[in-house]
Amino acid sequence: MENYNMEKLNFERPIIRKINTGISNKFGMKTEFEPIKHIDNVGVKGLAAEYGSPVFVLSEKTMRRTFNDAKRAFDTRYPKVQFSWSYKTNYLNAVCNVFHSEGSWAEVVSRFEYDKAIANGVPGNKIIFNGPDKTDDDLNTAIKNDSFIHIDHFDELYKLIELAPKHHKKPKVAIRVNMDTGIYPMWDRFGFNYENGEAWEAISKIIISNKLEFTGLHTHIGTFILSASAYAIAASKLAELAVRIKLKFHKDISYIDMGGGFASSNTLKGSYLMGIDTSPSFDDYAEAITTALINSDIDPDNMPLLILETGRALIDDAGSLIGSVVANKKLSDGRKATIMDFGVNLLFTSFWYDHKITPAQDFSHHSETTTLYGPLCMNIDQIRESISLPPLKRGDLVVVSKVGAYNMTQWMQFIMMRPKVVLIDKKGEVHIIRHNETREFVESLEEVPLHLKKAKDVNGNKHKHNGKPVEIDSKN
Amino acid sequence: MTARIKNITESIFNSYPVIFFSESKLFAAILFIVSFFDYYAGLGGLIGLLTANITAYYLGFDRYKIRKGYYGFNSLILGIGIAMEFDQSYTILWAVVFASMLVLFFTVAFEASLGKNYLPFLSVPFLFGFWALQLFIRNILQVPLSIREINYFSELGFVNSDYLKYIFSWVSSVQNNDVIRLYFESLSAIFFQKSVITGLLISLGLLISSRISFTLSIIGYASAYLVLNYLGLSIAGYDYSFVGFNSILFAIAVGGYFIIPSRSSYTWVILLTPIMVIVSLALGYIFKSMNLMIYSLPFNFVVLLFLYVLKLRIFKSKGLSETVIQQGSPERNLYSFLNNNYRFKNNQYFSLKLPFYGQWNVSQGHNGKLTHKDKWKYAWDFVIKDNEGKTYKDYGNILEDYYCYNKAVLAPADGIVHDITDGIPDNRITQVNLEQNWGNIIIIKHSDIFYTQLSHLKQGSFRVKKGEFVKAGQIIASCGSSGRSPEPHLHFQVQSTSGTGTQTLEYPIGHYVLNNNGYSLLKSFERPLENDFISNVEMNSLLNKTFELKPGDVLRFETEDRKKKKREIEWVVVTDIYNYSYLWCKKSNSFAYFRKNGSIFYFYHFKGSKRSLLYYFFLALYKVPLGCTNNLQTNDSIAADLFMNKIVLFFQDFIAPFKIFNRSDFNLQFNDGFVNHDEIKFESSVTNSIFGLNIKKYNFETTINPAGINKFCVNTGNKTIKALCIEQQQ
């Protein structure tokens, strides 16, 4: 006879809630959603048990699928497309290598990221070097490696013209162009402005200098852009520049880099509708950009390569954060509050998004409004001011979905240490791709001046300094 | 001056082996010596040949043909024949001079008249000249017939060597064997001699110049011998003595030279021998009454007749293919025929592009299960599939969910928009419109008998108008789901008439990339099969520019071998009057013929020195796609005689018409997409294998930069050559 091992039913504390009868109203229908018990068929409970709570979980399958969706959207609309992985979005080496293995180049904005890309085996001529702060040494390295340098300001341009003759080749450069694409806020702090003519001035200076190889045009109109048509405007303006360059300097530019900024399906704070319904799809962005380029006056036989530096939209969906409930509380005004073991230290994006947070165990359809706090002893540590969740108790697990972008680069080691990051590969096997931090790790960079050593050392014990016993002057 | 002397020498020596359909220099030397076994006959031949060549030169005939010996060889045989037949006298030699001019005129006349039917003039001019002169000398000059017998050994007087004694005794033993003796004598009869030694040397020359010709000479002779034997006649008999050499020449001409050597051509040689014998005997009787001999008339008669008959065929059988481009040797003809057949079998005039961007999937190919049947069997249906094999995202219940819906449809080739049907709404998913089953269509006219049709297009998506000129790759409409289309897809077919949905034409796609199972393979003029993932070769501007070789361009290389010895080599791009383009290395007199067809650059022929740098270059860049995708493989096959080990080739030649046991494979791989790079580096290799066993491999590495071909390295296993391009003038 089989032994039926019945699991004990989950206890939910009772709640009192006003009944909303009749047809659905502005408060919506009652909550009907499913718990997330598995990520890529790997049990959430097991993950938390093995790797601790909280833990970041990345799905390789989702990453690759999302990448291929994006690639297909562009490839089937435009003849030459190249993706370039935006390192700042998530520069865990495992993540970068997933995208590199799918054919992505690297898009970096600092020497740190640049060196990371090189260490990941990306050839120099497949690295796009963006960003406003590049030192002379950074520029020399990039020139030596044949990387594409995207110039941000005139000072950088002059510096490059100054550095170029020392190398026996022309540095490959593009300029970043900012422009009015009809969206607010307009990003004008990076690159050269299109409307006021600075972009054209920069282009002319580069080409006339004859010291730099002008390879392309770059723009990055903003981030989490919810309007695909803004990209169409940006693409048209870059195409106009390309045509003008051809007319004036008889030069075909080799690429147009549309930057990134594609929205993921997360819901922005304060938006009325769900992100999944409002965010444009890759197809929408691709249609807008490629149509604008194809319909432009660029010579059809010499269409430039289209480069995309999409980061967020490619990785957000692949990341989840598993956390657990620390405590339930009642606030002074009677509102419910729940304290989680993860806070703004790990979930940086909670400043922008109303994340989708789902319990990992069965629950009834009753829910109540609660405020979610993190574990930090700091007032700012509030993940969500108000969220409708089923009643949770200490130890219950939740899954925060779509957290792959920016959290694993902008997280902070503040009060608590950062947890593990694991990757579920295509076969469903789990790999740790970043270990949790330890006190030793955090302190490993610290130095304590001799006179500030531990008290017991000071009180007479011999202390080793550089391997030699040191006499400690205990008179003070 | 040296060039002129070289031309004159060539024109003399080339005339000798032409008689045996060969261009071999060694064979030429042997025949030259053999002709002088009777010095008077040798002189007669030389006088005849020089007269013809000089006359042809001053009358202004094609220098190339003179150099090749085409205008001289008939007069050469005439000279030898006359000098052999009559007693030595200056009058005879004078007669030879004038008769040779006559033979040249015959040559030119027959070349023109027979040439209209693409037939060779063979030794017909000789026959007419010879008969005329024979009658003239015999009846007017009345020079007596010669009674000379040639005894080489006593004359040459070097019989004392033991080695030669051994040969001599072997020759004597051969002389006792009728069958073999008569074979050699038949060969020597071509030079009007009757000598085993001459025959032996000629047969050795044949063997050196062509294994196929040698084999055929034996087959031809043996068949004739057997036929005569069956008839109770002897090939040694006076009346039948012409049968032997006629059969040999006939066998070489039909079995290997004018027809690509093959099982069938060999069989036809045997089958036609009885006809050959009948014709010989019949003509022999007729000519006897005129007191003339038939010489090579039967051979000329049967060869021309048979070749003419072949030209008039309606269905060209696979086995019996005429030599279209004569390369001067049965082996070369065969190997390049097989190679061209393999490489360019399906090449067509129009190089069609796939009518879309990116990678699509063939959901229904030719002879499909669903609708590509009967008159409409040569059509393709294309869709876009994701990694899971789905054609749609989300639920797939609306048109917009389908990846291919609303995607750009491109013109597959340059042409004029012949017709457009628009206004048929796109169906809801799973619904079909059987009334207007083609849906919205566009028909593009590429030539009077060549149209392409794209169907099920999205309503109102046309970007072009009727009568407008479209360029290959131009966006013409969007993919939709109108007509008999339960879900969005693109139907593509080629037809020879302009109507909507008329009978389809089987036609390949020019060049495309097959992306099955994680690797990409370049396909040329092939038909994508059902379930293939395919995409266009997107041009790489750097590669495209580099291989834009125009007449007059110069490529200058500096090579460095292992001993650091430097050498400079220069090639010129030439386009000849037939519009063939080639790279020419003056120093080694080597030619590498190339073509640039849309998105492909390839070499299709090489002649010259196999030790030249140009030869390595030809191998290294045998076929280069002008667009690259990561891991794109290009495979091709190289003609056997262009890469094989000489000794192996010698044995391969014998059985080549029946079985090719070795192959030379070319492989080129792009390890990168090289999008937007100013340096492209790739490796290629040529491997020769026998029964799957690799016996010879060359590796190449080529680097290309904006200045053109920058560098290429050759590794042949035992030597390494680095060639640096120091100039590419364009």
* Range A121-126 average pLDDT: 94
Q: Which of residues 114-153 of B touch A (CB under 8 A)?
A: none
- Please tell me the distance from the alpha carbon of residue B298 to that of residue B281, in angstroms, as a whole number: 9
Same domain, B442 and B559: no
- Last residue of one domain, picked from the residues B507, B525, B549: B507
The predicted-structure confidence for B391-444, as pLDDT tens digits, reads as follows: 998 888 999 999 999 999 999 999 999 999 999 999 999 888 888 889 999 999
* Domain of residue B655, CATH code: 2.40.128
Smallest CA–CA separation between B358 and chain A, in Å?
4
- Identity of residue A349: T
Q: Are residues B405 and B472 in the same domain?
A: yes
- Which run of H or of E encompasses B494? strand B490-495
B608/B719 same-domain check: yes
B386 close to A (CB below 8 A): yes
The distance of B655 to chain A (nearest Cα, Å) reads 49
- Residue B366's domain is classified under what CATH number? 2.70.70.10
Q: With CB atoms and an 8 Å threshold, state whether A82 touches B475.
A: no
What is the pLDDT of chain A when averaged over all its residues? 89
Cα nearest neighbour of A253 on chain B: B676
ipTM above 0.90, yes or no: no
Tell me how close the Cα of A323 comes to any Cα of chain B, in angstroms: 29
Find the closest chain A residue to B679 by CA distance: A125
**pLDDT for the residue numbered B93:** 87
Q: Is residue B217 part of a domain?
A: no
What angle separates helix B39-59 from helix B25-35, to the nearest 10 degrees?
A: 120
Min distance B471 CA to chain A CA atoms (Å): 10
The residue with greater pLDDT, A198 or A469, is A198
pTM above 0.90, yes or no: no
| Cis preceding linkage at B508, omega within 30 | no
B675/A294 CB distance under 8 A: no
Give chain A positions within 8 Å (CB) of B473. 79, 300
**E-strand spans in A392-448?**
397-401, 421-424, 430-434
Q: Which of B451, B482, B507 is the last residue of a domain?
A: B507
Q: What's the total number of domains in chain B?
A: 2
Percent of chain A with pLDDT over 70: 91
**Which tokens hold the place of B181?**
């003796």
In this structure, the answer to whether residues B450 and B572 fall within a common structural domain is no
Domain contains B599: yes
Q: Does A438 touch chain B (CB under 8 A)?
A: no
Same domain, B503 and B546: no
Q: Is B534 on the interface with A (CB under 8 A)?
A: no
Residues of B in contact with A76 (CB under 8 A): 356-360, 384, 403-404, 407
In Å, how far is A9's CA from the nearest CA of chain B? Answer: 35
Instruction: Indicate whether B495 and B566 sit together in one domain.
Output: no
Residue indicated by tokens 């220098």 = B63
Cβ(A383)–Cβ(A390) below 8 Å = no
In a domain, residue B60? The reply is no
B627, amino acid identity: G
Could you tell me how many CB contacts below 8 A there are between chain A and chain B?
59
Inside any domain, residue B346: no
For residue B67, what are the CA distances in angstroms to B54, B506, B593?
11, 45, 22
* pLDDT band at B475; cut points 50, 70, 90: very high
- Chain B nearest-CA residue for A169: B678
**What is the least distance, in Å, from the CA of B436 to any CA of chain A?**
28
In a domain, B647, yes or no: yes
Distance from CA of B647 to the nearest CA of A (A): 46
pLDDT at B595 over 50: yes
Q: Domains in chain A, please, with CATH?
A: 38-57+317-439 (2.40.37.10), 60-315 (3.20.20.10), 452-476 (no CATH)
Are B499 and B598 contained in the same domain?
Answer: no
Chain B residues in contact with A77 (beta carbon < 8 A): 357-358, 407-408
Check pLDDT > 50 for residue A1: no
Q: pLDDT tens-digit profile of A292-307? A: 999 999 988 888 999 9
The sign of the dihedral angle between the CA atoms of B133, B137, B138, B139 is: positive
Q: Are residues B365 and B479 in the same domain?
A: yes
**Residue environment code for A15-37, b if the CB has 16+ CB neighbours within 10 A, otherwise e:** eeeeeeeeeeeeeeeeeeeebbe
Q: Give phi and psi for A56, each to the nearest 5.
A: -85, 135
Q: Which of these three, B507, B531, B552, is where a domain ends?
A: B507
The verdict on residue B581 lying in a domain is: yes
Residue range B678-697, pLDDT digits in tens:
788 899 999 998 887 888 89
Q: Which B residues in the span 161-200 are in contact with A, Cβ-Cβ below 8 Å?
A: none
Q: Is B675 on the interface with A (CB under 8 A)?
A: yes
CA distance A231 to chain B (A): 19
Residue A75 CB-half CA count within 13 A: 22
Q: Tell me what pLDDT residue B50 has.
A: 94
C-alpha atoms less than 13 angstroms from C-alpha of A249 in its C-beta half-sphere: 20
Interchain contact, B384 vs A76, CB within 8 Å: yes
Query: Which tens digits make up the pLDDT trace of A144-161?
Result: 999 999 999 999 999 999
B357 with A64: Cβ contact below 8 A: no
Spatial contact of B248 and B187, defined as CB atoms under 8 Å apart: yes
Q: For tokens 């009180």, name the residue.
A: A459
Res. B151 pLDDT band, cuts 50 70 90: very low
pLDDT at A323 over 90: yes
Does A252 contact chain B (CB < 8 Å)? Answer: yes
User: Do both B566 and B633 map to the same domain?
Assistant: yes
Nearest residue on chain B to A300, judged by CA atoms? Answer: B474
Token pair, residue B387, equals: 């990694």
Q: In a mutagenesis test of the B interface, which of A76, A172, A281, A290 is the best target, namely the one with the most B β-carbons within 10 Å? A: A76
Residues of B in contact with A69 (CB under 8 A): 386, 393
Kindly write down the DSSP assignment for every residue of B442-474, as one continuous string.
EEEEEETTEEEEEEEEPTT---S-TT-EE-TT-
CB nearest B408 (choices: A77, A216, A255): A77
Interchain contact, A79 vs B393, CB within 8 Å? no
pLDDT digits (tens, 9 = 90+) for B207-233: 999 999 999 999 999 999 899 888 888
pLDDT digits (tens, 9 = 90+) for B308-364: 999 998 887 777 888 888 888 999 999 999 998 888 888 878 899 999 999 999 999
Q: Are B552 and B451 part of one and the same domain? A: no
Residue B187 C-alpha from the chain's centroid = 29
B671 touches chain A (CB under 8 A): no
| B437 and B388 share one domain | yes
B358 shares contact with chain A (CB less than 8 Å): yes
pLDDT digits (tens, 9 = 90+) for A334-383: 889 999 999 999 999 999 999 999 999 988 878 888 999 999 998 889 99
- At A23, the pLDDT band (50, 70, 90 cuts) reads low
CA B160 – CA B163 distance, rounded (Å) = 9
Where in the sequence is the domain holding B465, given as residue range(s)? 360-507
- When computed from its CA atoms, the radius of gyration of chain B, rounded to whole angstroms, is 32
Residues 87-146 of A with CB under 8 A from B: 103, 125
Q: Is B475 on the interface with A (CB under 8 A)?
A: yes
In-domain check, residue B672: yes
Of B313, B230, B208, B197, nearest in space to B264 by CA: B313
Tell me the C-alpha distance between B468 and B465, whole Å.
6
B chain contacts of residue A103, beta-carbon cutoff 8 Å: 630, 673
Residue of B360, B407, B541 with shortest CB distance to A77:
B407
Is residue A474 pLDDT above 50, yes or no?
no
Contacts of B675 in chain A (CB under 8 A): 80, 82, 305
CB contact under 8 A, B673 and A103: yes
| Cα dist from B664 to A233, A431, B216, B330, B667, whole Å | 54, 46, 26, 19, 10
Same domain flag for B387 and B496: yes
Q: Average pLDDT for residues B609-635, to the nearest whole number? A: 90
Q: Which of A18-32, B243-257, B370-384 has the lowest mean pLDDT?
A: A18-32
CA distances from B300 to B68, B280, B320 (A): 21, 11, 19
Question: Is residue B700 included in any domain, yes or no?
Answer: yes
